[in-house]
Amino acid sequence: MKMKMKRIIILMMFGITMMSEAVIFEYQDIIGDDNGPGTYIYPTNKVFVESGFDIKKVKIEEEKDFYNFVFEIPVKFKNEWKNANGWDIQQFDVYMNFGKGKNKHTISGRNVKIKKGWDKVLLVSPAKNEVLIKKELIKNDMISDDSKMKEENIIKDILLPELFEIKGNVLTAKIKKINLKDMKKLKGVQVFMTSAEAYPGAFNTYIRTVNKEKTEWRFGGGVDDENGNGDPNVIDILGENKSLANYN
């Protein structure tokens, strides 16, 4: 399915420095920058607690049969809606570059491109994997397209975790090593924090859009568009968020 939308460009993926035998990547992010390009405001419903979309730390660890992707935020993960994977609203995209950077488009609805490219992305969502695959990924991400860059079939490079663990403000997503065979070649990582949305707009893969005015269920501080196109629907990334303002 083709999509015509304006997108911004993220300039940076964070390089890999050998941490230890078990820790592949670790990054302590800036605290208090959970406002997209600097203007985003949380929705008013009580489920959207202050700092709930602020990335505090991301770590990738290796164990016997799995790679563990560990996400820390300043507040506890909650599951008031009884979602299958154990939490309510936070959603993470982990874009990984293994040296080729063959994809520039990101998962549908993020309204972001990664200049240096990525090879695999791990989508960490509170929704069941079956729901994401059948209702979202196949529909939206078979072909990603806009007026400025060539089409990309990215669905084959979107991965989903098999297991989840939540302890307070730390969420761990586990994926079997056999599904990430190139991890030894990992060159760069970037992480998007978004909000999961069970009823997303057209072409938006399970993501809550950012509007001009905040509402009970929508972030404010962006621009209004029927399908959420234009501004990035990304609340936080690793490092400086300034590049999230680079859209038109």
Q: Is the pLDDT of residue 179 over 80?
A: yes
What pLDDT does residue 1 have?
41
Q: Is the pLDDT of residue 198 over 60?
A: yes
What pLDDT does residue 141 have?
57
Distance CA(83)–CA(130), nearest Å, equals 13
Which CATH number is correct for 8-245, 2.60.40.1190, 3.30.360.10, 2.40.30.70, 1.10.3720.10? 2.60.40.1190
What pLDDT does residue 3 have?
44
In degrees, rounded to 5, the angle at the alpha carbon of residue 138 between the alpha carbons of residues 136 and 139 is 65
Write out pLDDT tens, residues 101-114. 999 999 989 999 99
Write out pLDDT tens, residues 120-137. 999 999 999 988 887 777
Q: What would you report as the CA-atom Rg of the chain, rounded to the nearest whole angstrom?
A: 17
Distance CA(54)–CA(56), nearest Å, equals 6
Question: pTM of the entire structure?
Answer: 0.91
| Alpha helices, H only, the chain | 129-131, 138-140
Map out the domains of the chain as residue ranges: 8-245
Q: Of 59-68, 70-79, 89-98, 135-144, where does mean pLDDT reach its minimum?
A: 135-144
What pLDDT does residue 153 have?
82
In the three-class reduction of DSSP (H, G, I as helix; E, B as strand; rest coil), residue 241 is classed as coil
Region 151-164: what's the mean pLDDT? 90
Distance CA(139)–CA(3), nearest Å, equals 11
pLDDT over 70 for what percent of the chain? 85
Region 237-243: what's the mean pLDDT? 92
Q: Is the pLDDT of residue 27 over 60?
A: yes
What pLDDT does residue 60 have?
97
Give the DSSP per-residue string, 200-239.
PPTT--SB--B-SS--SSSBBSS---TTS-SS----EESS
Q: Give the pLDDT band of residue 81 (cuts 50, 70, 90).
A: very high
Structure tokens at 167: 């302890």
Q: Which residue has the higher pLDDT, 38 or 20?
A: 38
In the three-class reduction of DSSP (H, G, I as helix; E, B as strand; rest coil), residue 119 is classed as coil
Region 65-75: what's the mean pLDDT? 98
Q: Give the pLDDT band of residue 225 (cuts 50, 70, 90).
A: low
What pLDDT does residue 139 have?
66
Residue 231 and residue 237 in contact, taking contact as beta carbons nearer than 8 Å: no
SS (H, E, C) 136-175: HHHHHCCCECCCCCCCECCHHHEECCCEEEEECCEEEEEE
| Alpha helices, H only, 9-75 | none
Q: Give the pLDDT band of residue 204 (cuts 50, 70, 90).
A: confident
Q: Give the pLDDT band of residue 4 (cuts 50, 70, 90).
A: very low
What pLDDT does residue 38 have?
95
